[in-house]
Chain A
Amino acid sequence: EVQLLESGGGLVHPGGSLRLSCAASGFTFSNFVMSWVRQAPGKGLEWVSNINGNAGSTYYADSVKGRFTVSRDNSKNTLFLQMNSLRAEDTAVYYCAKCLGTRCNVFDYWGQGTLVTVSS
C-alpha cells in the first residue's frame, strides 16, 4: 500500500524558512517522480514543484522559483521541500504526491498534507 506522510509544517513569520518532509512507503521510491502541491485555505490546488527519481531534474512554479528547493533522499525514501523567504501568500496545506510517468502525467497518490501558516 502506497503511503505518504508529510511533516514539518507550522507557523512562521514572513521572511522566515521552513523545511517540509514527506516519508514514502509501499513503492520503490527512487523509481518515481515526486511532487509538491499546495492548497491555500478555502482555495483550489496549485502545483509547486517536481523532482525526478535520481534528483537530476527539478521544476518549480513561477510563484516559488528562487525561494523553494525540492530534494530527496532515496536511501531514506524521503522527499523534502526547503522553503525560504516565506510570504503570507505561501500559507497553505502542502501535499506531497507520487507521480505516474517520467513526465509526471498524473498525481496518483497523495499524502494527508501539512499546514504552513506565514503570519506575523
Chain B
Amino acid sequence: DIQMTQSPSSLSASVGDRVTITCRASQSVTSYLNWYQQKPGKAPKLLIYAASTLHSGVSSRFSGSGSGTDFTLTISSLQPEDIATYYCQQSYSSLTWTFGQGTKVEI
C-alpha cells in the first residue's frame, strides 16, 4: 500500500498567517492527491483535488501544489473558521485509497 505522511502533525498560527502543510507519498501518485478539511465533530469536506484544483465553493485562501511524491496545502491568510484537521489522500493506487494521519491547525 502507498503510505501518506503529513507534516507537521499539528501547528499553531495567528490569524492572517500563511500556513503550509506538507504531504509525502511513499511512492509516486502523480497528481492523484486530494485534500480534505474536517472541523471538530463534523464530516470531512473536500478542499482540493488532483493536487491543485479547488473544489466548488472553497475559499481561494486555499491552494494546493505538487506532483509525484511531495505535495503542499497552503492557507494564504489563516482565518478563525479554518481551525480544523486537514487530511491528504491518494487515489493513484487502484483499489486502495489511503489518507495521511492528519494535521491539526490551531490558532
- Chain A residues close to B by CB (< 8 Å): 35, 37, 44-47, 50, 59, 61, 95, 100, 103-113
Tell me the complex Cα distance, A46–B1, Å: 13
What's the nearest-Cβ distance from chain B to residue A102, in Å?
11
The answer to whether B55 touches A113, judged by C-beta atoms less than 8 angstroms apart, is no
CB-contact partner of A109 in B46, B49, B94, under 8 A: B46
The answer to whether A44 touches B49, judged by C-beta atoms less than 8 angstroms apart, is no
A-B contact count (CB 8 A): 57
The answer to whether B44 touches A45, judged by C-beta atoms less than 8 angstroms apart, is yes
CB-contact partner of A111 in B34, B43, B89, B100, under 8 A: B43
Show 6 A/B contacts (Cβ-Cβ < 8 Å), sorted by A: A44-B99, A44-B101, A104-B91, A105-B34, A106-B34, A106-B50
Tell me the complex Cα distance, A46–B99, Å: 7
Chain B residues near A106 (CB, 8 Å)? 34, 46, 49-50, 89, 91
